[in-house]
Structure formats: structure tokens, C-alpha cells
Structure 1
Amino acid sequence: MAFRRSLADYKQAEGDPELFPGERRTHSGLFAGSGRRLVHVAPTGAVRDYSYPLSGFHGITALRFGVRFGGTVHWFDDLDDTRQRYHGNTALVETVHRFDEFDIVQRDISVGFSHSTLFELTGDWPDDLSIVGFVEFFPDGQEGRVGQLIHDDEVVEVYHNREHDYLRASTELSAITPEQSAQFGEVLAETSRLPRHSSETDNYEGSRLTGGVSFRAAVEDGTTTIVTRLADIEDEPRSDSLAALADQTQRHGSPADVRAVAHETFPHVDATDELVNTDLRVLRLLSAPTGARIAGPEFDPYYQYSGGYGYTWFRDDAEIAQFLLKADGELGLGLADTHRKSAAFYLATQLDDGRWPHRVWPMNGRLAPGWANGHVEGNETHYQADQTASALVFLATYLSAYHDIIPEPTRTEIRNALARGVGGLDRSLATDGLPLACENAWENMDGRFTHTAAGFLHAYSVIATAPCHPRVRDHAAERARRIDAALDTMWLPDKGIYARRSVDGELDGRADSTTFSLIDAHLVYERIADVDDDRLRRLERHLDTTFNRLWKETDDIRGLTRFEADTWRQRTQDGEKVWTVSTGWGAYTAERAIELFPDTDEPFDAAAWSDRLFAEIDLSGSLCLPSGYLPEQFFDTGSPDSATPLGWSHGIRLATFAARHARNA
């Protein structure tokens, strides 16, 4: 989002009890994507790029459309009657704009570095109708100091340094008018002049130093297509970009064309359940060609209220990868290539000491800005040790599940990575059997966390049963038994709960949804050692206590909060917000608990909790948007907040659906 637009949004949202000024929210609308482009299409048909983490290109910061007939422009923003959906199981977004005598169907699709918007008119439209638009590019993340070229009155090119952004139409493009940036005074005035104001026609100098341009596209046989393309001038010369742009406009010239391309270029599974297709679509939209996923679309571009979401965290990503493995095993989704890419990415990004950094760029795996790279600097506290455990769990599980089809050189790579990873875990394990003090999964405090210990127990246990070096398996099994014994020191009998953390020997008895990880860890630990009845009773009591203490219900939403006394992004709300991650994690854990506690339903009824929690993240649940997307969190009023859609939540939902399907089959 350009700075001027952030200022304008700040003016509009300031004082709102549930909006954070300056953010670029995606709670409504749908995303199109290609692995290179992640493009949001608002219900009004407005288009905006969220592509940088996937491709390194910033692209469109604003693109709005309308129609002109009878000498008057009618912007789609002003229409009340619009409908939006995906075409089948693809990522082709269809938006219908309804007028009195005719409809306009807008179809948006991303292919590689290009994005096409096709308009099809139906009904009785005026003969003089044309599509009008205003686009604002953001090359190299620059709002100012950009240049503009208009090639032969048919192609617009906006550039700064390496990034060059192009636009053309499949029909005649006319009335191309560069639009200069509003001055700060105009933005801050009581009545803002945004998005732009027209340049003077004789001011060639000023008109070529702007990223904004308005245009008009003729309608022929009821259709026209607007295509944008992003390119690095060092990798793709201008002549190649112009040729690719011309080819794209021809290939996407009709509704049948874009529907065919949508089915060809966006791999999907024709599952019978809409939820499965929705979750797989979201996870693919958030994925780079490397296979790595961003946490969610970057909604806080100036990092005023968060640490950013357009990065790959090894915890979130590896958890999603594990969930996809589980869902694939239960539903037969054919995701072998997805698993292969995840494994390759983790192998490529593992540090020399066997651990993984805080977060990286999904486009290339390079270290991204973060605040938990203390282990890279030599400071163990500012490090999220559970991330390394999550990556190792996936690699070991993948090696076991796909051992016979993984090429031998890759199997060797994974075995070596697991051996290094065990050494990395050992560096973070204290002599008392618990991980050293580090940052927690929510990234908001330090301590010795039950969640981190559960992650280590899970990692050591799954490695102890994986087809890797015998000495590594034996060592991992010994470490798992040590952690299992040490977990007794985290038990609070008077509260009936495992403490969320220990700080200077003091136990923090607040309920925390990250402790749900104890269940998966013990299910794997059971493969190498007995889990005694006393531990099972404690785990059962822990879940019962934690679910009841985190459960929250209002007139509009129901679900689990993240942890007790959570104050993050409350705005003016009193009390904790409900999180889809925590609610989904609870549903998944309840489902897994049925396997761990097969013969009990009192006092803890795992199946009932699975039903109760899953209902809220299901497509008709209170925490699911009409788009099928799961945002990260909700205000008590039912208003969604933060990253939307959040990949972690969709991975959890998919795996929970698969587990429930298997149980009820």
C-alpha cells in the first residue's frame, strides 16, 4: 500500500473500535494466484497485488474499474448489486456487476507473472459502452520516483529500477491519461483527493513521473480483457515483456479461454467436499514455486500493528506440511509433489548447526527480517526452538511415509538433515530434560514452554521410529524418554493443567492453546515407550480444563481464545479475542485425543469437543467467512481481524476434516 493511501485509510479508520488505521484488509473478496502473483479481487472488482513475498514484485497497489456510456462514468465501487465466487475448484474469480438492463461478468485469473481481467457483457447494454479503469503501480515498492512509458498508444509501462509493470487490453486502449500523485496536503485535507488528480495535458514531464494512469478499453462482441504483467528488466527485456503481454491478451480473449486456462494452470483436486477444495486452494494461493508458504497476505504493510505476515515461518509451514501429509493419507489427495517441495525447501534452508532461522522469504529461502534469530547471533533466548522441532517432525514423517518412492540421494539428504537436526535440538535441551528458555510460538514472551517441550518430544519420538541411522534413532529415543519424565515438573495439580511455561522456577498456570501439542507428541511417543495411566489421566484433565477455560461465546461467534490474558490487537475490546488457529487446533486435538483416550468419555468427551469446535470453523460456522476463508482472529462482535486467509488455520481445518472423515467412515 502506498504511503498516501495509508494516510487516507488512517484518516478514515482512526477512532474505529475494530479497525487498525493504515492496513490493507482482505476480509472480503477473493484471491486469484499463480505461485508468482497473489492478487486480491474485492467485491467491487478492484484489484491489488500481494505478490511480493512470492515473486519479489510489488505490482498493483490499486486498480479499479467501471463503465462509461452516455458520456457518464459509473464506477463499480458505487454499485450495490454484485456477486462473487470461484469458478469450480480453480482460482478463477468471477464477479458479477448488475445494472438495470445488463450485467457485466468480470473474470480474474493469474498465470505466471501475468494477471488477466476479462469483462463479458450480457443483456441489453448501450452501444457506446466502454470499460474504464484507473491503475496505480508500485514498482520496486516505490510510490514516487517512478517513470511511465506509453508505447504506441496501446501499452502502459511503469518502472523504477529493476521492476517494470505493464498493462494492455485485448481491444483498443484509449484515453490513456497519466495521473499525478495527490500532494500530502491534499491527502490530509478534510476532503481527500484520492486516488489521484489528472495531469495537465501539456505537462509531459510531470505526467511521465507517476505510477498512476487512467484508461478506456473498447468492448468488442461484448468482451474485452485487461492484462498486467510484472517483470525484472534484467531477466526479461522490454521486447520480451511486450511480446508476452500481447500473447496473453490474445489467449485470454474470451470466457471459454480463461476457463480453460484456469483448469490447465491451477492444479486442483476434484474432491467431493467443498471444504477440502477450499482449503487446498487457499494453501496453493499462499505458496511460492519453492513450495514454501506465506503465513497470510501482508495486510499491515508498514508493520504498525504486527511483525508482518508475508514470510515463511518454519513452525507454521511445517505444521501445514504435516497436516497435508495426514489429510493426503486419509483422503488420497495425490499431493506427493507438494510434500516433495516442502522437504526440498527444508533441506535447502537448514542451518549448519541443524536448526532453522526465524523466518525466510518463500521466493528464495533467504533469511528474512525477524526478531528471533538469536541462535544465528549466538543468543539462545531469542530463538523459537519449536520451529526446528516442527521441521524435523515433517522430514521424519515424510521419510517414513514415502521412503520407497523417495530417490536414494534424497533419502540420504533427509537422514543427514535429521542427524544434524537432533544435534540442533540437543543444543537447546537442558540437563533437566526440558528445552532451554526461548521464545514461545506466539512470539510474545520468553520462558521454558510446555509447547516447546511437546514439540521436542514429538520430534525426538518420530525420529526414533524413522528409517534413519540407528545411532540417531537410539539417541532420539533416549532424549524423548528424558523429556517425558521432565514434563512432570510442569504439572499443576491444584489447577488440573500443565503450565504454559516456567520462568525462574515459577510456573505460569494460564491456559494456552499451544499446549494442545501434548496430545500429538504422546501419540508418537507411544511408539517407543508406554504412556502410563497417570500421564493419560493428567493429559485428559489438562484438555478438559484448557478447553473450558479458553472457550468463549458471544451473540455472534464461538470458539477458543489463544491464551488467558491475551491482549494483542484488542483495539477497544475488553477481553481476549477468538482465534481460528486455536479453535481449529482444539478441534484437531480433540479428534486425536479420541485415539489417545479410546475408552473414556467422562469427564472429558473428546468426540463432543471435536464436534463443537469443528462446527465453528466449518464452512457454515461462525468463524468462517462467506468466501470460505478463515481469518486469524475475530472481535466479539463477529468482525474478522488480521491476516485473511491464514494458511495455518486452513491446514488445521483440512487435517481435522480428514480425521473426522476417517473416524466416521
Structure 2
Amino acid sequence: MALRRSLDDYKRNGGETDVFPGERRTQSGRFTGSDQRLVYVSPNGSIRDHSYPLAGLHGIASSRFGINVDGTVRWFDSLDTSTQTYHEGTSLVETVHQFETFDVVQRDFTAGNSHVTAFELQAESPDNAEIVGFIEFAPEGQEGRVGQLVHEDALEVYHNREHDYLGTSTELVERDPESLEAFDEILAEEPQSFPRVGTAENYEGSRLTGGVGFSAAVVNGTTTVINMLSDIETQSRADSLASIADQTQRYDEPSTILTAARRAGHSPAVPGQLVGTDLHVLELLSAPTGGRIAGPDFDPYYQYSGGYGYTWFRDDGEISMFLFEADERLDLDLQETHRKSAQFYLQTQLEDGRWPHRVWPMNGRLAPGWANGHIEGTETQYQADQTASVLVFLAEYFATHSTSLQEEFRSDIEAALQSGLNGLDISMEADGLPTVCENAWENMNGRFTHTAAKFLHAYSAIATAPCDSTTRERAATQATHLYDALETMWCPERGIYGLRLVDDELDTRVDSTTFSLIDAHLAYADVGDIGDERLHRLESHLETAFSRLWKETDSVRGLTRFEDDTWRRRGQQSEKVWTVSTGWGAYAAEKAVQLFPTTEQFDPMWWSDRLFAEIDLTGSLCLQSGYLPEQFFDSGVPDSATPLGWSHAIRLATYATRTTRETHPPDQCTNTPPSGGDGRRDHSY
């Protein structure tokens, strides 16, 4: 992802109040991908790679397409009549550019390390037309120090190992290497537009740039543009050029492209569009190793965030657990997905039984992060809940499939659980709560209720897994100790479990991560008894948290992350709505009925319906693409990583729970909130 493109966006959006200038946003388009590439297709048809974390190849930094009819060029990004959909349940993105008398149908799909962009002219198609384009390659993330080779029927841009190729199914009428912005243009106030024909004035300059402008003849109403990424150490230039030539012939007709897209289509038959969408998103974000990025990286220079194109063991562990639960309920045939996740966690576990902050999904190696204090030798800058999340999945997976696993794999998982138990114990204090560490939102330190809940869940899951008796007994003892210690986090005056302890003072803000208390206590119910007073407190906490975090504007409805959350507000004065928090609330409400019954004062199913409606396909927090972005401004403008894997996994698991629950079906839920409208009452448990 090129710095020049981020600076260009900064110039164009510096004055916006609900956009962070300089980011490479993905909210308005759709993705297509394979196990080697992740390609974003914007509503105007431009394409851009987000492939590096998954395969180690950077590819396309920016692009632009249009049509030349009788010497007049019309760029697709100048139109306001383009529409975009997925084609018939496949991962092929179909973008229709509507002109006055004809349409240009653009079809994008990714197969292996190649991306196909096919154009078909429909209706009153002009006789003399060419597809024009500009593509900026950034092999190995480089804008400079790249070379360009202009072959007879293809173009090659390279740095060191990564070589990127471009070819077309019809004649390449023109190929013009494009020099990118010089220093004075980068510093100028006005952005530049590409292509700029004729800027490379000599042979030397024309071969030292990653940009190329081109035009391809339209024959029988169609032409196809192929771009391919390769590693010169595994695929020679001759083989790459032969592959490009083969693909330009193979994908020269709309029928062959549609057939190939159907063959490479994402998921087998699944029950409904929502399930298919969520599985498709999680597949797009997955590397061949089984690791997943949190979301497509939109801020690679860490200007407004710490980046998203990495595997976080919290996000990934939660996604794995939600997928596992949905599979158990809906029979989605995801056994291989679960196996790969488990294998990835075994590969990346540290010697002390814990996991690092984040890793590269392409190979499991340590990635840039700010919460690796446990590797450096300090506990504070460490997110202990991440290790707990992974252990919950491994324990549940082991408990369900231990008898069918190969002996070596079974032994490896059991050893990982034993080592993980040691890792959890490192973070425990004598009072029964985890030590000071970073929180799940990665923006403060303390002793968090969420961390304690995830530890309770992990200890309980290990205590009931088919491990040796010593391991189970140790885990059960720790679970009970932690269950008792959670009393410290209770605030009777507000009827909630506080956010954290700081210097023994309870921070009594409401935090949506504390919804994890519900799953934790459901797991602990198989280890020890849960008293009535604890159940009353959990009910009070959930009821109060929903009421205090709920936010509704003219455009969006849902839950904020936590009270007084100031992150990524831009020009907004109050907290933003988050899809993770809203989905998590719906999920917790669904699970709550297994802990305490519905009462006249609090009906969790009413909240489940209310919250799930907002992340459903027609909800205010779901984009037309079916994607769930991480956050929303009050104006309804989506923000941050899109699509966010964690949100999609929560939605899928919540849907699975809702469709298989035996009590409180949707038609029995009330249509008015309990307790007279705000769901709140006085608690003194």
C-alpha cells in the first residue's frame, strides 16, 4: 500500500469530519480473494491488493479504469450510476457502469495468485471502443527502487523477489510507463490524477516506475485484463509469462469467466444468505496456514490505529470458537477449518504456554505490535485475555474431537493445554484475579473484569476437557478461586461489574467486553455451583449494561464499546456504535437464558432481538454488501476495518443460537422493553 496514495487521500479528505484522511478505506466496495490474494474492488471498479499479510505479496497499490470511444475517454470514477453486487453466490464482484446508451459490465474474481478483471459492453455497444486503465504496482511494498519490463504481450514490474505481471486477452493498443509523483508534487496542495500520458520522457525513467497506463482493444464487445503476482524464487519469468498468456486466452469470454468463478465460488450450500456472507468474509480473511487477519488493513502507516492486517490471538481465538459453535449447531462441515486453526495455535504458542500479541498469518512469525511485554520480561504490556481465548477454543475442540484425532495431534493439543494452564497461572495474583495487564480494547492498563471472565472460561474449559486428572484438578481449583474473586469487581451501587481495578479502586464504567461473563459462567457451571446471588448480579449487570451502552441516532442503532470511549471520534463528540459490541450483546442475551429465566423486569430475548436486528442483513449496522465494519459515526458513516472478522463470527454464532434455541422463539418475545421502557431498575444485591 503506497505512501503516495495515502498522501493523495489526505489532500482530498483533509477537511472531512467523519473520514480519517490518508486511510485506504474499504467500506463502500467488495472483496474477492483466494488463499493467495485479497483484492478490493471499489464501486467505481478500481482494484487494490490487501494481500500481503496472507501471502507475502503486495501487488496493486492503486488503479483506475475507463472507456475510450472515438477518442473520448470516460473514466468510471466520474460516473454516479455504477452499481455493484456479488454474482449468484460466488465471490465474483460484478460492477455495472451505466452510460447514456450502453453499459460496461466489469467482473472481478481472484484465482490463486491471479486476478481477473473482465469487461463486457452491453446494450447499444459502440463499434470503436477501448478499455483504458492505469495500474500502480508496488512489489514488496516498494514505490521506488522498482523496475519495469515491457514484453511483447505483457508487462512486468519487479523489485527483488516479487514480480507482478499484467496482460490482456485482446491487443494491448498502448502501454505507457507512468512516473509517479515527484517530491514537489507530493508536497503540493493539489492531488495528482493518473494516468498522465507522456511523463516518462526517456527510456531510463520509463523503466524505473511501478505505474503503467494502457489501453486494450474491445473485440466482440469484450476484453479481459489479467494481473498476476509471483515470487521469482518459486516461479521463473518464463513460467510466469506463459501463465499470463494462458490465462488471457482462457478468460477471453464472459461465459468462461462465470464458469471459473462458480467453480472457485466460496462456500458449499449453506442455510441462508447471512450464513453464506459470514463464511465468505472469514474465508477471505484467512491465510493458508489457518491464521486470519482481523480485517483488511486500511491504515498501514499507523496514523490513526495500530494496523489491522495481522492475526490477533484474541480475535482469532474468538472467531475460531464462534465458528466451532456455529458448525455444531448448523452442521456447516468446517472440520478442516477447525483443524487448521488448532494447528496454527500449536505452531505459534510460546515456550511459557502463552501467545504473542500478534503474528503474520502467512507464517505465524511475530508481527509488529505493542503488547509483547511478556516476551520482553514484563507482564503489564501484555493482553492476557488473548491466551485465554485461544485456550477456550483448544479445550472445546479437544473435548469434542479427541477420540477422532490422530494420536500425535491429540498429544500435541493436550500438551498445549497443559502448557497454556501454566501460562494462565503466570498472570494470576494471590487474590484470585489476573494481574495488571492491557485490556481487550488495547487502550488502557489495569485488572479487568473481561480478563478475569476469559480466565474463568479457559480454566473451566480445561477442567472439563479430556486431559489428565492432575491438569483438570488444577484448572478446576483455579476456576473456583477466580469465581470467588470476581466478587471484588462487583459495584452494588450501580448494579454492575466494573470495567477494571486501578490501584485497588474500581472503575465503574460499563464495558461491553464484560458480556464475556455470561459464557464464562456457563462454562463454570460444569465445574462448580453458581449461587442465586451471583445469577441475580449477572442479570442486573447485563440489563444495566444494555441500557447504558445503547445508542440510537437517525442513522444507526446499537451498543457503544464502553462509557467515555474517545477513540476515532474525529469530529464527533460522543462514543461511536460498534458492531462487535452490538453483536456481542445479542450473543450474550441469547446465552443468558441458560443462566437465569426471563422475568417481568428483564427479558434477554427482547434485547437479543433488538440488537441482532441491527447487525442483520437489513440492519442499520450492516452495509449493502453484507459487510460489518468495526464502527459507525452517528451520521451513519461506517468507519475502521471493513469487513471485521470478529463481528462476522459473532453474528454467525448468534444466528446459529437463535435458530436452534428451544425456548422463547422470536414470536413470543415482547415488543416493548421491560421495566417501562429503559430496562433499568434499582439493584442492591
Per-residue CA deviation, residues 360-396 of structure 1 (Å, 9 max, x unaligned), is: 0000000000010011111111110100000000001
Comparing 450-459 with 217-226, greater Cα deviation is found at 217-226
Shift of 1:15: 2.4
Distance in 1, matches of 2:5 and 2:523, equals 50
The corresponding residue for 1:365 is 364
Q: Does 1:410 align with 2:409?
A: yes
Q: Are the counterparts in 2 of residues 278 and 628 from structure 1 also a CA contact under 8 Å? A: yes
Alpha-carbon distance, 1:406 to partner: 1.9
The amino acid that maps onto 1:618 is D
The separation in 2 between residues aligned to 1:59 and 1:257, in whole angstroms, is: 25
The Cα offsets for residues 91-143 of structure 1, whole Å up to 9 and x where unpaired, read as 11111111222222111111111101111222221111111111110111111
**Distance in 1, Cα, partners of 2:624 & 2:91:** 16
Shift of 1:604: 1.9
Deviation at 1:202, TM superposition (A): 5.4
Partners of 2:79 and 2:199 in 1: CA distance: 30
Q: Give the corresponding residue for 1:33.
A: 33
Q: What is the CA–CA distance in structure 1 between the aligned matches of 2:382 and 2:173, rounded to whole Å?
A: 55
Of the structure 1 ranges 218-227 and 49-58, higher mean CA displacement relative to structure 2 is found in: 218-227
Amino acid aligned to 2:645? G
What is the distance in 2 between the residues matched to 1:263 and 1:347?
34
Change (3 A) 1:477 1:182: same
Contact preservation (8 Å) 2:8, 2:192: no
Residue 619 of structure 1 corresponds to: 617
- CA contact under 8 A between 1:60 and 1:138: conserved in structure 2? yes
Q: CA deviation at 1:14?
A: 1.3
Displacement of 1:79 in angstroms is 1.6
Equivalent in the alignment of 2:282 = 283
Show the counterpart of 1:572: 571
Is 1:78 aligned with 2:85?
no
Which residue in the other structure is 1:641 paired with?
A: 639
Q: Does 1:262 align with 2:261?
A: yes
Partner of 1:485: 484
What corresponds to 2:143 in structure 1? 143
State the Cα deviation string for residues 330-378 of structure 1 (Å, max 9, x = none): 1111111111110010011001111000000000000000010011111
Specify the alignment match of 1:471 in structure 2.
470
- SS across alignment from 1:403: helix
**How far apart are residue 78 of structure 1 and its match?**
1.2
In the alignment, the residues of structure 1 paired with residue 600 and residue 497 of structure 2 have an alpha-carbon distance, to the nearest angstrom, of 19
Deviation per residue, 1:579-636 (Å, 9 max, x gap) = 0000000000000001111x23232210000000001101111111111111000111
Letter in 2 for 1:216: S
Which of 87-96 and 33-42 deviates more? 87-96
Question: Separation in 2 of the partners of 1:233 and 1:71?
Answer: 39
Offset of residue 58 of structure 1: 1.0
Q: Which whole-Å CA distance do the structure 2 matches of 1:200 and 1:54 have between them? A: 34
571-580 vs 115-124, greater mean Cα deviation: 115-124
- Amino acid paired to 1:52: Y
Q: Quote the residue 2:674 is aligned against.
A: none
Partner of 1:336: 335
What TM-score do you get using the length of structure 1 for normalisation? 0.98
Whole-Å Cα distance in 2 between the matches of residues 103 and 571 of structure 1?
38
Match of 2:598 in 1: 600
Mapping of 1:176-575 within 5 angstroms? 176-199=175-198, 203-575=202-574
**1:112 aligned residue:** 112
For 1:107 and 1:543, the matched residues in 2 are separated by: 46
Segment of structure 1 superposing worse, 335-344 or 6-15: 6-15
CA separation in 2, counterparts of 1:172 and 1:43? Answer: 27
The answer to whether the 8 Å contact 1:90/1:281 transfers is: no
Q: CA deviation at 1:430?
A: 0.8
Aligned to 1:132: 132
State the alpha-carbon separation in 1 of the partners of residues 598 and 117 from structure 2. 56
Q: Which residue matches 2:69?
A: 69
| Whole-Å separation in 1 of the counterparts to 2:211 and 2:640 | 28
Per-residue Cα deviation, 1:37-87 (whole angstroms, up to 9, x for no partner): 110001111001111111111110112111111111111111221111111
Instruction: Write out per-residue CA displacement over residues 509-548 of structure 1, whole angstroms, 9 at most, x where no aligned residue.
Output: 0000000000000001001111110100000000011111
Q: Secondary structure at 2:91's aligned position in 1?
A: coil
CA contact (8 A) 1:35 1:289 kept: yes
State the alpha-carbon separation in 1 of the partners of residues 200 and 547 from structure 2: 67
Judging changes above 3 Å, is the alpha-carbon distance between structure 1 residues 29 and 200 closer, same or farther for their aligned structure 2 residues? closer
One-letter amino acid of the structure 2 residue matched with residue 640 of structure 1: P
State the SS of the aligned residue for 2:392.
helix
Task: Give the aligned residue type for 1:147.
Answer: G
Q: Post-superposition shift, 1:190?
A: 4.4
Contact 1:623–1:634, Cα closer than 8 Å, also in 2: yes
Counterpart amino acid of residue 532 in structure 2:
D
Q: Distance in 2 between matches of 1:320 and 1:193?
A: 41
Q: Residue in 2 aligned with 1:163?
A: 162
Cα deviation, 1:6-29, whole Å, max 9, x if unaligned, reads 222111211211111110011101
User: Partner of 2:680 in structure 1?
Assistant: none
SS in 2 for 1:175: strand
Out of 605, 608, 611, the position equivalent to 1:610 is 608
Q: Distance in 1 between matches of 2:159 and 2:606?
A: 57
Aligned-partner Cα distance in 2 for 1:539–1:453: 14
- The Cα of 1:193 is off from its aligned counterpart by 2.6
Classify the secondary structure of the residue corresponding to 1:197: coil
Over the aligned positions, Cα root-mean-square deviation in angstroms equals: 1.3
Q: Which amino acid aligns with 1:613?
A: L
Report the equivalent of 2:57: 57
Give the TM-score of the pair, scaled to structure 2: 0.95
3-state SS in 2 of match to 1:417: helix
Separation in structure 1 between the aligned mates of residue 191 and residue 556 of structure 2, nearest angstrom: 36
Secondary structure of the residue aligned to 1:31 is strand
Contact 2:89 2:265 in 1 (8 A): no
Query: Which sits farther off after the overlay, 610-619 or 258-267?
Result: 258-267
- Segment drifting more, 508-517 vs 56-65: 56-65
Q: Single out whichever of 365-374 and 197-206 deviates more from structure 2.
A: 197-206
Q: How far off its partner does 1:200 sit? A: 5.2
